[in-house]
Structure formats: structure tokens, C-alpha cells
Chains A and B, each alone.
Chain A
């Protein structure tokens, strides 16, 4: 039997079961109703893929960022349940790396925004909290 390669102790075991996305799927609303950032995040299954759709604050209407593929991650190498995702949007003038994870029923989304338009805006990090819509 060959031993598995690993870079930290927690990477040793493995279950082989596919990761189930159900914990993440659905519509998530920002806990801050006055957010100037992301208003709503929707994670849905499309065929074999999980896709993320973001609605961000805007006036007079919110911005629909459209759908992008989300990569799913479990809590550890043995877990068969996804509890985090990573996704990426490229808008041309800027790009956003999103990472979300569920903790005690709250979806925490961290955004890493990078501007590519020489507008003088700093690339920046922000974090927002979401609850599952009823």
C-alpha cells in the first residue's frame, strides 16, 4: 500500500464519497439590509455543476452579476458535505474572488476585489454575512 502525500497532518485520511452541496444550496440574504455590497447570493445545481448568482446593491436597480461556477469544499478530507465554496467573477474593469463558508447557519462571504482599470481605487477585501431565505 502506498502512503498518501500530504502537507499537513489533517490531510491524511480520505472517504472517497462525493461531496454533497445541500448545506450551501438556496437563496441567501445579507443580514445587513442596508448593505452597499452583496444583497443576495443564490447557489443552485445546474447539471453536474454548482453555480453561484450574485445580486449586488445598486440604484435604481440592483446589479445582477449573472452565474458563475462555484468550487465546493468540505470541512475536512473525510467529510462528504460541502460547507464552503470559491468562485470568481471577471467584469473586465475589475475582478472578484469570492470565498464563502457556512458557520452555525450563517453564510460568510469574503470578497477580494481587484481593479484593472487604473481608476485609482485600491484593491480591497470585505466580508458580509447572509442568512438563508425562508
Chain B
């Protein structure tokens, strides 16, 4: 069997018969409406995730008064399983790019919760610090 390239031991597996390269992951665990477990969140209050073939569409709603702010829909850049041989989607990364800021979302599913890390950088010279937040969502 041919040894595959790797940069850590956990990636050392023998070449499987069928190449799928992450494109055939089952997306069911990630799709649906996800609500922040913290109802007083000042960050992201809701995420809507839908599947379109092998792609995920992500729609984020930020905490705002009087109504949540709809960030619009973006396509997840990549979808991830929770191990190298799994075919079940358990995470994704996506970018929101606005004129004054950009946010990189990195999400993973864990025991029924969607854990969402967001890295926000400001581009507007407002002197707000780039910041990280991590929130938990339930269905």
C-alpha cells in the first residue's frame, strides 16, 4: 500500500479505494436553525444553515436592537468531518466580508451543540481591537 503524505501521525493512513476528498460528507448534522444558548448574547443570536448539494449556505444574525441584524447568506468555504475517515460533516469555515470589517467563522458540532468561533478584524480605522468570540448554539 502506498504511504500518503502527512505532517503528523494522525494523518498517516493507507490510501482508501475510493477518493472523495471531503466532497461527499453528509451534511445533515449541521443544517437547520441554530439558536444561541445564551439568550442575552450581544454577539451572534442565530445561524441558519442549509445544504445545497455538497455546499453549505450560512446565514448569521447578530444581536441588535430592536431586531437582530441579518448578515446575509454566504457559502461555507469548506466543510469538515470530525476525523480523517468520517463521512459525516461536523464543522465548517466561512467568511463574512463587509466594507468596515471581516469575520472568519469556524464552527464545529459537538454533542448536539454547534460551537462557533468568530475572528473579527476591523478595516475602518475605528481603533476597535480585532477580537475573538466563541459561542454555543442549539437547535
Contact = CB atoms under 8 A, between A and B. Distances in A.
Interface of A: 4-5, 7-11, 13-17, 19, 36-38, 56-59, 63, 65, 71-80, 83-84, 86, 91, 93-94, 97, 99, 101, 110, 112-127
B124 A5 contact: yes
Given A36-B10, A63-B8, A94-B7, A79 B21 contact: no
Interface residues of B, number: 63
Contacts of A119: 4-5, 15-16, 19, 21
Given A8-B43, A8-B62, A112-B93, A14 B78 contact: no
B134 A124 contact: no
B128 A91 contact: no
Given A11-B120, A58-B8, A93-B5, A4 B62 contact: no
Interface of B: 4-5, 7-11, 13, 15-22, 25, 42-44, 62-65, 69, 71, 78-87, 90-91, 93, 96, 98-101, 103-104, 106, 108, 117, 119-122, 124, 126-134
B127 A15 contact: yes
A125 B7 contact: no
Contact of A99 (B13, B106, B130): B106
